[in-house]
Structure 1
Amino acid sequence: MVEDDAADLICISVIDGEYFVFDIVAVKRLRNDHHVAGILVGTLPQVPQQSVFLGLPVQLMPEEAALLVQQGVARIIDEALSHGTILAVDENNIDEAAAKLKINELESTESESQGALASYTTPTVSITDKYELPESSVSAIYDTPRFHIYKYLHQRGYFISPGLRFGSQFLAYPGDPLRYHSHYLVRGVGYDEEFSLLELVGSGRLGTGVKKAWMVGASLPNDYQDKLAVLRPSQTKDGEGSESNDDFVSFCIEWAGFG
């Protein structure tokens, strides 16, 4: 979905190479409309010395941020530059207020000068447009195997989260992670990338041990489209265990006795 109105774009703040969303309304939109849950990483103001219950901001994976920008749903804001601008504006406002107060003290009574200070209003400064980063800031992610398999699953309605705790790149959920357990341990690879039989067996057994299937997938190079047409009849005949479309192929590995 492409949102033409720039004001409706979700602002993703990039801080030291990581992507965050600070607006609770935007977080709800991401979860409800775009199947992006992210990870809460902020401490709670009342109980900051614990890490069991977390709050805003929500941290996004690079693949999540890149896909949202590619779909025209979000834009990337350089938080460091914008924060520096806000601080500079605040300092200028303080100097301006002090100068104004000094003039009032010289020309008016003390009560009038206090009133002038109280009525001073800090102007609102818009920084999102000025410090919006171009799409090229995330376009390098588009060519990675991780992004290809992330997009492949996202287009099929899966919620995806980091998979490090289970030894994979991603975890794929058939619905909201608050309602479902993950079904797949996911790894994206290059189409010609080699991996050992030991890794294949180990990953399959790992998935079985945590009651999940191990999925591996790759995006096909343009010159492999003819090869896919040859492979497709055998995949259709075999049925379970493989899925493909015009530019992507994936396989699920399960150890004997799964379930």
Structure 2
Amino acid sequence: MNELKPIKVYLQNDKPLVWSARDSVELREQWRIVGCLIGCLPRLPRQNNYLGLPLQLSKEEVTLLLEKGAILLLNNSSDLKQPSVQEKEEFNEYRQKSYQAQVEMFREERKKEIHQNMANIIEGKRDKAQKDLEERKSRGEVSEEAEVEEDFSIDVDKVPIPPIPKKFSLVQLFTESPYKPEDEVPVVWGYPTSEKERLKFGVYRDLWNQGYFLSNGSKFGGDFLVYPGDPSRYHSHYIAICIPHEKKMSALDIVSMGRLGSNVRKTVLLCSEGPDNKISYISLQWTGIS
């Protein structure tokens, strides 16, 4: 893992964002970092069932990745270098080449479709010609013995296939600006700052070190959801709740947390840091009364 090139994460409005799809996949596969997609899909901007880039990382994820040397946290500065005339020309030339390549691919695909449906196309043309001939016979324009003699074979290479309109072509977007200054300075990351934040990060790091995947658990009433594998393939097994070691809890609190886990079929983990700076866990499973 340490041989991988650090991934650039940009801090925008205090939100750590990953803009590259390749980097997002690497974070998930190499570092077990899930994050949260927050962007709209280019072709489906008005739906919110499936989201796209950028990938927003949590504070715990960023802190862990910085410790491991897996990322560079950079400030998305507005002080960008203006592209030169030559760079603009190169960009326009690249986009034109991309469009022409798509036109050729579109034409090749259309030719393949014509080849695959050649028999149906010829049969359709023959049926239409036969129908026209029958109508002409009924009007007395040709003799009753007349037959269709036209050759319906098709030379696919000579079929005129119009290019796709430029407005429908795919456009490659930059995942980061190529015109940024090369002396980018990493951001000084200040998390964690409070005892509560230190406890949350300590729990996150400890569970991550045990091989788990973790995601935000607020919608289930906890701090983290803990998965035995990639969340795209596994359901979470635990709801981790971070509680200071010296905090007093009533029986009602414990019952409430137990019921919370039973309602969503998960085990509740009460996580705290002891005097020896080690993370300890207590699991709660509601069994009810028979």
Cα distance, 1:127 vs structure 2: 4.0
Is the helix fraction higher in 1 or 2? 1
Does 1:24 find its partner at 2:18?
no
Which sections of structure 2, spanning at least 5 residues, go unmatched?
Answer: 93-176
Q: Structure 1 residues 219, 49: CA separation in 2 closer, same or farther (over 3 Å shift)? A: same
Q: Structure 1 residues 176, 11: CA separation in 2 closer, same or farther (over 3 Å shift)? A: same
Which sections of structure 1, spanning at least 5 residues, go unmatched?
Answer: 98-115, 226-245
Cα distance, 1:2 vs structure 2: 4.1
The amino acid that maps onto 2:285 is E
- In structure 2, the partner of 1:217 is 271
2:191 maps to which of 138, 150, 153: 138
Q: Map Cα deviations across residues 73-126 of structure 1 (whole Å, 9 max, x no partner).
A: 1121112x2xx112xx22xx57xx5xxxxxxxxxxxxxxxxxx89858899534
The amino acid that maps onto 1:216 is L
**Pairs within 5 Å for 1:24-173:** 24-79=21-76, 81=77, 84-86=78-80, 89-90=81-82, 93=83, 124-127=178-181, 129-134=183-188, 136-138=189-191, 140=193, 144-173=198-227
Cα distance, 1:193 vs structure 2: 2.5
Number of aligned positions between the proteins: 204
Q: Secondary structure at the match of 1:151?
A: helix
Q: Secondary structure at the match of 1:133?
A: coil
Alignment root-mean-square deviation, CA:
2.8
Cα distance, 1:22 vs structure 2: 0.8
The TM-score normalised by the length of structure 2 is: 0.63
Cα distance, 1:202 vs structure 2: 0.3
**Separation (CA, whole Å) in 1 of partners of 2:89 and 2:230:** 49
Cα distance, 1:149 vs structure 2: 0.9
1:176 maps to which of 230, 239, 246: 230
Is the strand fraction higher in 1 or 2? 1
**Separation (CA, whole Å) in 2 of partners of 1:43 and 1:141:** 34
8 Å CA contact 2:192–2:201 kept in 1: the answer is no
The amino acid that maps onto 1:42 is G
8 Å CA contact 1:163–1:171 kept in 2: the answer is yes
8 Å CA contact 1:66–1:141 kept in 2: the answer is no
Q: Structure 1 residues 18, 118: CA separation in 2 closer, same or farther (over 3 Å shift)? A: closer
Q: Structure 1 residues 119, 208: CA separation in 2 closer, same or farther (over 3 Å shift)? A: closer
Q: Structure 1 residues 255, 117: CA separation in 2 closer, same or farther (over 3 Å shift)? A: closer
Q: Structure 1 residues 209, 172: CA separation in 2 closer, same or farther (over 3 Å shift)? A: same
Sequence identity (%): 29
